[in-house]
Amino acid sequence: MEVASRFEAHEVDLHGHRAIYRVAGSGPTVVLIHGMINSSRHWQPVAEKLAGSYRVVAPDLIGHGDSATPRGDYSLGAHAATIRDLLTSIGIERATIVGHSLGGGVAMQFFYQFPQRTERLVLISSGGLGREVSPLLRAAALPGVSPLLRLAAQRQLVDAIDAAGGQLRARGSAKGIYLEAIARALRPLQESGARRAFLQTLRSVIDMHGQHVSATDRLYLLGDMATLIVWGERDRTIPIEHGRAAHDAIPRCRFETLPRAAHFPHLEDPDGLATVLADFLATTAPVRIDDSEWAAVIAQQAKSRLRAVA
């Protein structure tokens, strides 16, 4: 495979559907998985800073960015399997897996399904670590929201929200960052296929009560995995307490916060995030897990639970 020196887009056909990914740099592979309604493009500032030492691969999840928006399965497991197939198709066997928000849930699912392919795991403002989530996302998961979403995504309204956010941010108001994030989320939803894919993805992990998919019962599986959790200190979408609790539950896990960032550290503080990622990559060794080790971890946990019940 020819490695691009810049963050260039490539296309592969996966099971009859267009899958887009972007590549920069050369060296050990780092996979960057974006969150809901984001795309691989949003990783560019971070990818370019890592590209001097690593081969950075950032896919557009199916239903997001420039990838296809078919009717189908938008669960975390389906996204993880698609990334496995994408990496296989371009000749990548193992990688450090980095996920933001929904992408954090996908990254954890990738590790759970394909531990032999995972060298390190990085979770950035990750979903799947607690029930609480912003009221806006809970409301978007309600039945009958599709027509409202179509109205909210109209170009003129999105431009107005974005402009208002920029003005508030220039005045030093944190509300400006929040409004800009809303505009960024709404802009891709002007296409009906993207709206459908968004709602299917959202409802696979969130309902009116919050996140209904949790990885907390399987965090023990990360005992031997080099793991980093990063959170924006101004995050109002997913509470930073989720990251702290996961850090406490995962042995040898690192936890870093970024004071300048809210829920999108790769956009709000890409330099800070890239510095944290580069340090983690440079100071940890890639992990190799085989089937026998995986079976032993699960068996040991089962024995511990039986002893606790007894």
pLDDT digits (tens, 9 = 90+) for 144-157: 888 877 777 788 88
Q: Could you tell me if residue 165 is inside a domain?
A: no
Q: Which of 235, 242, 266, 269 is catalytic?
A: 235
Q: Could you tell me if residue 75 is inside a domain?
A: yes
Q: Could you tell me if residue 148 is inside a domain?
A: no
Give the up-direction half-sphere exposure of residue 54: CA atoms within 13 A in the CB hemisphere. Answer: 23
pLDDT at 140 over 70: yes
Q: What is the pTM of this model?
A: 0.88
- The CATH number of whichever domain residue 299 belongs to comes to 3.40.50.1820
pLDDT band, very low/low/confident/very high, at 45 (cuts 50, 70, 90): very high
100 in catalytic set: no
Instruction: Give the SS3 label for residue 231.
Output: strand
pLDDT at 309 over 70: no
Give residue 253's domain range.
Answer: 8-133+211-309
Q: Could you tell me if residue 186 is inside a domain?
A: no
> Any idea which residue has 């599986």 for tokens?
221
Q: Could you tell me if residue 272 is inside a domain?
A: yes
pLDDT average, residue stretch 88-96: 97
| Angle subtended by helix axes 76-89 and 102-113, to nearest 10 | 70
Quick one: DSSP state of residue 69? -
Q: Give the C-alpha separation, 248 to 216, whole Å.
A: 11
Q: Which of 39, 40, 67, 101 is catalytic?
A: 101
Q: Which of 64, 100, 247, 263 is catalytic?
A: 263
85 in catalytic set: no
Contact between 84 and 117 under an 8 Å Cβ cutoff? The reply is yes
101 in catalytic set: yes
- Number of structural domains (the chain) is 1
Q: What is the pLDDT of residues 9-39, one digit of tens each?
A: 999 999 999 999 999 999 999 999 999 888 9
Q: Could you tell me if residue 179 is inside a domain?
A: no
With 0-12 / 13-18 / 19 or more C-beta atoms within 10 angstroms meaning exposed / middle / buried, residue 219 is buried
